[in-house]
Amino acid sequence: MKVCTDACVLGAWVDVSAGKRVLDIGAGTALLSLMLAQRNGGAKIDSVELDESAFEQAVQNVAGSKFKDNIKVFHCSIQAYLPNGQYDCIISNPPFFQSDLRSPNASKNIAHHADSLSFSDLIAAVDRLITPEGSFHILLPVDESKVFRKMAEDLKWFVSKKLTLYHHSGKKPFREIMTLSKVELVDTGEINTELCIYEPDGKSYHSQFRELMKDYYLIF
């Protein structure tokens, strides 16, 4: 699977500074797990991936990195995953397309379509695996984000932060990243920010994007 810009933004933007036990749901080839390990060297990260080829690539990627002692990769569905204890930080770039046309590539269908992991199953898994004060970070397209947020709020989850992604200022938003928890906001409201990948010319990287990604993109 290709490395997607929006997934890189997720890995760079979320606050994992206080995370001691971190879970990456639908880890793919371990991109997010490796980024989080780079940002928080003290965290123990468990990566769960259902697709066999992606799992094998994740194992290889982790083994070839200097973070191999911080990351464990598991080959199973999150519904069947039974760890020893809960996590104070969970992150996911889940399959999200509910009804789009399928790809001829079965692995891409698993990665992008919600047949293997519905939103309700994902919320139930996070609810089971997170500590009472833990944080959950998720990346979704804008329309799917609204659906997921409604489902989560109905189950007493609260959004504390949201980042809206644009290709550039002349385009509609294409992704949203949300941070949720079971702790209700009392003194502070939801924090909403925006990020453009490119300058208005659609070619040059935006200065804010360059600043966010400078520790990960060699071109910066």
Tokens for 161? 């932060």
Say whether pLDDT at 102 is over 50. Answer: no
Amino acid at 113: H
pLDDT tier for residue 113 given thresholds of 50, 70 and 90: very low
Q: Does 219 map to a domain?
A: no
Say whether pLDDT at 105 is over 70. Answer: no
Q: What is the pLDDT of residue 186?
A: 76
Q: How far is CA 42 from the centre of its chain?
A: 19
Of 175, 163, 165, residue with least CA distance to 198: 165
Q: Does 199 map to a domain?
A: yes
Q: Does 92 map to a domain?
A: yes
Of the candidate ranges 130-139, 160-169, 184-193, the one whose mean pLDDT is the lowest: 184-193
pLDDT tier for residue 185 given thresholds of 50, 70 and 90: confident
Mean pLDDT of 56-71: 97
Q: What is the count of structural domains for the chain?
A: 1
Q: Does 220 map to a domain?
A: no
Q: Does 35 map to a domain?
A: yes
pLDDT tier for residue 195 given thresholds of 50, 70 and 90: very high
pLDDT digits (tens, 9 = 90+) for 15-41: 999 899 999 999 999 999 999 999 999
What is the pTM (predicted TM-score) of this model?
A: 0.89
Q: What is the CATH number of the domain that holds 113?
A: 3.40.50.150
The 10 Å Cβ neighbour count of residue 186 is 6
Q: Does 159 map to a domain?
A: yes
Of 122, 132, 57, 56, residue with least CA distance to 87: 132
Domain that holds residue 44: 5-213
Q: What is the pLDDT of residue 3?
A: 81
Say whether pLDDT at 100 is over 70. Answer: no
Write a three-state SS string for the chain. Answer: CCCCHHHHHHHHHCCCCCCCEEEEECCCCCHHHHHHHHHCCCCEEEEEECCHHHHHHHHHHHHCCCCCCCEEEEECCCCCCCCCCCEEEEEECCCCECCCCCCCCHHHHHHHECCCCCHHHHHHHHHHHEEEEEEEEEEECHHHHHHHHHHHHHCCCEEEEEEEEECCCCCCEEEEEEEEECCCCCCCCCEEEEEECECCCCCCECHHHHHHHCCCCCCC
The 10 Å Cβ neighbour count of residue 108 is 15
pLDDT tier for residue 116 given thresholds of 50, 70 and 90: low
Mean per-residue pLDDT over the chain, rounded: 90
Q: Does 193 map to a domain?
A: yes
Q: What is the pLDDT of residue 36?
A: 97
The 10 Å Cβ neighbour count of residue 182 is 18
